[in-house]
Amino acid sequence: MTVTAKGKLHENDYVRAMRSQRKGFLYFLPIMFGLFCFTSLVMILAGVLGTDRSNIEAGAFALLPAGFFGILFYVTRRSIRRMAGQLGAHSQDVEIVFSREAMTSNWKDGESKTEWNKMQKIVETKDDFLIFPLSNMMWPVPKSFFDSESDIAALRELLGEGLVKKTKLQKQ
């Protein structure tokens, strides 16, 4: 059984894939930022409305962690966007053939064949299949690359046979 996917990866495909893998981290930072801002606001108001000088200093000190989390959130989002832009700028039309033996990628400049037992894991998201040949490397394959829903179901069936040790597929 073989399944073929054809298309060209764009910057938005990489951004969506990276965000889906860092989802918890990207939600944690704004929540912490909001909590620290709220705490800082309360301390500053207590300092302004109160008579004790130490309250104002505590309010100013509370802004430090809020600023830290805000900067960390901004840098994380910016680095995801920058990496995706670099990858998207160099992308080409690609044809990916999934078979029982291996995954083969064909593009204008060459071909790459990766056996399933060398893959680290495969994760299915709402819009993509994320293939991890290494623990720190990811190839997104958007579901829009497949001709029909039956091709996606055939790939799920192929991956469900246990070709890759860690496979996380969506339930139908």
Q: What is the pLDDT of residues 131-144, one digit of tens each?
A: 888 777 778 888 99
pLDDT tops 70 at residue 151? yes
pTM: 0.62
Tokens of 169: 């597929």
What is d(CA 102, CA 107) in angstroms, rounded to the nearest whole number? 16
Q: What is the pLDDT of residues 23-69, one digit of tens each?
A: 555 566 667 667 777 777 776 676 666 656 665 666 666 667 777 77
The total number of residues written for the chain in this structure: 172
What is d(CA 146, CA 3) in angstroms, rounded to the nearest whole number? 8
Q: What is the pLDDT of residues 93-103, one digit of tens each?
A: 888 888 888 88
Higher pLDDT, 15 or 7: 7
Tokens of 12: 């938005």
